[in-house]
C-alpha cells in the first residue's frame, strides 16, 4: 500500500479519529508531516520497526518539559509551532536512528556473501 492510495489515507484518518484530545491529534498530524519530510529528504533512511506515534509524541513532550523546566508534559501543545515541530523531529530522528542501529546489531538472516 502506497501513501498515494485512498485506502492508506483512510487508515491514517481512522487512526487519528481515535485520538480524543484535539491538541494531541494535532501533534500526531504534525509528527506524521515531520516524519514524511525526513524520509523524503533522506531516502536512505527507512523505518525498521512499527511506528508508535503515541510514544513518539510522548517522547517529544517529555523532552520539551525537561528542557523548558515545566512540570506539565502537555505544554508542548501550547508551544510555538516551530518549537513543537523541532521536538517532534528530534523524537522521530531518535526513533529512526535507534531502529537503524538495532538492525545493524542483529545477525543477518542470510550471510553477507552468497557466492562461495
Domain boundaries in the chain? 6-105
Judged against a pLDDT cut of 50, whether residue 63 lies above it is answered with yes
What are 10-45's pLDDT values in tens digits? 888 998 999 999 999 999 999 999 999 998 998 888
pLDDT of residue 114: 36
Region class of 51: left (phi > 0), else alpha (psi between -120 and 50), else beta? beta
Check the CA dihedral 55-47-99-38 and report its sign: negative
Phi, psi torsion values for 19, nearest 5 degrees? -80, 115
Q: Coil, strand or helix: which one is 45?
A: coil
Residue 81 pLDDT level (bands cut at 50, 70, 90): confident
pLDDT of residue 86: 96
Average confidence score pLDDT of the chain: 83
Q: What is the CA radius of gyration of the chain?
A: 17
Check the CA dihedral 47-53-59-61 and report its sign: positive
10 Å Cβ neighbour count for 91?
Answer: 23
Judged against a pLDDT cut of 90, whether residue 9 lies above it is answered with no
Residue 47 pLDDT level (bands cut at 50, 70, 90): confident
Amino acid at each position: 500500500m502506497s501513501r498515494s492510495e485512498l485506502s492508506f489515507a483512510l487508515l491514517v484518518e481512522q487512526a487519528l479519529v481515535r485520538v480524543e484530545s484535539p491538541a494531541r491529534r494535532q501533534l500526531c498530524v504534525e509528527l506524521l508531516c515531520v516524519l514524511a519530510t525526513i524520509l523524503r529528504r533522506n531516502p536512505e533512511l527507512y523505518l525498521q520497526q512499527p511506528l508508535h506515534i503515541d510514544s513518539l509524541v510522548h517522547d517529544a513532550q517529555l523532552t520539551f518539559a525537561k528542557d523548558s523546566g515545566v512540570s506539565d508534559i502537555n505544554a508542548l501543545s501550547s508551544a510555538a509551532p516551530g518549537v513543537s515541530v523541532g521536538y517532534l523531529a528530534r523524537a522521530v530522528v531518535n526513533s529512526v536512528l535507534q531502529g537503524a542501529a538495532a538492525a545493524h546489531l542483529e545477525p543477518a538472516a542470510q550471510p553477507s556473501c552468497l557466492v562461495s
